[in-house]
Amino acid sequence: MMAELMTARYLVYLAAYLADQGREEFKYVASLAKFYTTEVAEKIVSKAIDVHGGVGVIHETGIERFLRDVKITEIYEGANNIQRLVAFRQLVRTLMKKGIVSQDIAKSIT
């Protein structure tokens, strides 16, 4: 869990760094960061509920609320499946600019 949390955190820092540098890869990394961090957050909250056992899902304890709160982060600000598409398209565009993928192939798959 700690490894995933730290990976998620550093992905966000990398996206912020690339944005500060005005680098084009920012768009790609920001999309990766959005879907990865929100999915890691959901996993961590789910584990937190496990730790509390049955009490974790009782409304009055407020713990299950975290799961609802974290779930929505996978949906708004660009649903995660859409972020995957954005990241994929951005990666293909970058590979096209570097001449690794031809323009025809890039157009057909994006």
Ligand X SMILES: Cc1cc2nc3c(=O)[nH]c(=O)nc-3n(C[C@H](O)[C@H](O)[C@H](O)COP(=O)(O)OP(=O)(O)OC[C@H]3O[C@@H](n4cnc5c(N)ncnc54)[C@H](O)[C@@H]3O)c2cc1C
Tell me the catalytic residues: 77
For residue 80, the minimal CB distance to ligand X (Å) is: 6
Q: Is 7 in the site for ligand X (CB under 6 A)?
A: no
Please choose, from the candidates 41, 27, 38, the residue with its C-alpha nearest in 3D space to the C-alpha of residue 85.
27
On the 0-12 / 13-18 / 19+ scale of CB atoms within 10 A, 37 is: buried
Torsion of CA 23, 18, 25, 7, to 10 degrees: 170
Beta carbon of residue 22, minimum distance to ligand X (angstroms, whole number): 26
Work out whether 109 is an interface residue with ligand X (CB under 6 A).
Answer: no
Q: Is 68 in the site for ligand X (CB under 6 A)?
A: no
- Range in contact with ligand X (rule: CB under 6 A) among 29-37, 51-59, 61-69, 70-78: 70-78
| Minimum CB distance to ligand X smaller for 2 or for 76 | 76
Distance of alpha carbon 44 from alpha carbon 20, whole angstroms: 29
- Residue closer to ligand X by CB (options 28, 35) is 35
